[in-house]
């Protein structure tokens, strides 16, 4: 797992042709605002998260966020354990995100 600061995460995301945004918050949290283009996999629903993660392309880069960075860090560790090599956690999460948002 790679924890990245807000600036490093945004810069790497914008320059990565294999980038996929992954929001691991609850559906209710995501509906209150999210980063445009994010795919949703709720880590609080462990079974659905694992099923959804197994369907993702492991050759891509995943930029993962939650509300404050804790759940997304956990999601990145789980993803790494099932074969994802490029999972990047947004430190500070959506609460500290200064980039584009859909609210």
Residues acting as catalytic residues: 66
Placement of tokens 């995100």 in the chain: 97
Q: How many residues does the chain have?
A: 103
Q: Per the structure block, which two tokens stand in for 39?
A: 């795919």
Cα 55 to Cα 52, 73, 78, 84, 96: the distances in Å are 5, 20, 14, 12, 29
């Amino acid at each position: 797992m790679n924890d990245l600061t807000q600036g490093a995460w945004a810069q790497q995301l914008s320059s990565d042709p294999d980038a996929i945004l992954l929001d691991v918050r609850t559906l209710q949290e995501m509906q209150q605002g999210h980063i445009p283009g994010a795919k949703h996999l709720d880590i609080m629903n462990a079974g659905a998260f694992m099923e959804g993660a197994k369907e993702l392309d492991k050759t891509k880069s995943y930029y993962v966020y939650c509300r404050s960075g804790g759940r997304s860090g956990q999601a990145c560790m789980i993803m790494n354990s099932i074969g994802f090599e490029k999972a990047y956690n947004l430190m500070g999460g959506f609460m500290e995100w200064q980039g584009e948002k859909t609210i």
